[in-house]
């Protein structure tokens, strides 16, 4: 299933957003002096590219999940980049962040082939359209609600649920889980832009778990030129003492 085609991208950004990284990513960012985007398997619809490549995006966490970013990704580190979105949005080619949150009614392609096979089981257009509305409902219904309604719609009249219907329920559960875990996430499309590592745009909250000796040296050097880039905490103070 193509999750790039199954997720809704809304153009409404929230104000309080953070980017979390681990040791390797922090080192790479300090070395390059920029925040750059990455390609994700779940990404913004990118219909303008004929090659189907995902855009390069920066993963952002909303305030509500800032204390548990690992709920979005097991690869997330503890070091936090606080973003000044007012200034970041002045960078050329940077647009408002977009949440990746729910399945769109208007994007009906990913299960249509399965739906079409249901004609073989005697499902008419009226019931098939009701089923599609159920599956593509916004906001998404819980999988158990969808399963119960599907059983209601065809179980009594057609006997045991068909393999195709089981496929719909399974696919729906997979997508629902993907969506549910990303409800606190937004993205910046950085396919044509980068964010300079300057206090005008970001502030870094260092975490002890993500600091090695090489990073410590890089932090000291960066602090000399832009001390406001770092949030004053015990980790920073410990690094600067040496």
Could you read off the pLDDT of 25-62 as tens digits, one per residue? 999 999 999 999 888 766 665 434 445 567 888 988 87
Q: Which pLDDT value is given to residue 181?
A: 60
Q: What is the average per-residue pLDDT within 16-32?
A: 92
pLDDT, residue 104, reads: 45
> Cβ atoms within 10 A of the Cβ of 110, count?
18
Mean pLDDT of the chain, nearest integer = 77
pLDDT at 131: 80
For residues 84-93, average pLDDT: 93
Which is more confidently placed, 15 or 4?
15
Q: What is the pLDDT of residue 180?
A: 64
pLDDT(10) > 60: no
Whether residue 19 has pLDDT greater than 70: yes
Pairing of strands 185-189, 57-62: antiparallel
Alpha-helical runs (H) found in the chain = 23-32, 85-88, 112-117, 125-135, 143-150, 156-158, 163-181, 213-225, 234-241
């Amino acid at each position: 299933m193509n999750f790039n085609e199954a997720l809704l991208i809304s153009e409404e950004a929230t104000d309080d957003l953070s980017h979390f990284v681990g040791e390797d990513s922090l080192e790479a960012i300090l070395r390059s002096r920029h925040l750059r985007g990455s390609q994700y398997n779940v990404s913004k619809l990118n219909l303008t590219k004929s090659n189907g490549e995902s855009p390069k995006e920066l993963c952002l966490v909303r305030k509500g999940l800032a204390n548990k970013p690992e709920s979005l990704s097991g690869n997330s580190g503890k070091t936090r980049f606080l973003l000044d979105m007012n200034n970041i949005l002045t960078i050329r080619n940077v647009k408002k962040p977009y949440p990746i949150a729910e399945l769109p009614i208007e994007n009906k392609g990913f299960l249509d082939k399965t739906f079409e096979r249901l004609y073989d089981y005697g499902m008419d257009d009226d019931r098939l359209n009701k089923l599609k509305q159920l599956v593509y409902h916004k906001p998404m219904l819980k999988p158990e609600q969808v399963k119960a309604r599907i059983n209601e719609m065809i179980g009594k009249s057609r006997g045991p649920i068909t393999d195709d219907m089981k496929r719909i329920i399974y696919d729906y559960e997979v997508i629902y889980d993907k969506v549910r875990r990303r409800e606190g996430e937004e993205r910046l499309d950085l396919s044509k832009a980068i964010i300079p590592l300057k206090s005008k745009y970001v502030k870094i909250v260092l975490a002890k778990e993500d600091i090695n000796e090489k990073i410590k040296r890089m932090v000291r050097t960066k602090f000399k030129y832009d001390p406001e880039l770092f949030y004053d905490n015990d980790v920073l103070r410990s690094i600067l003492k040496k």
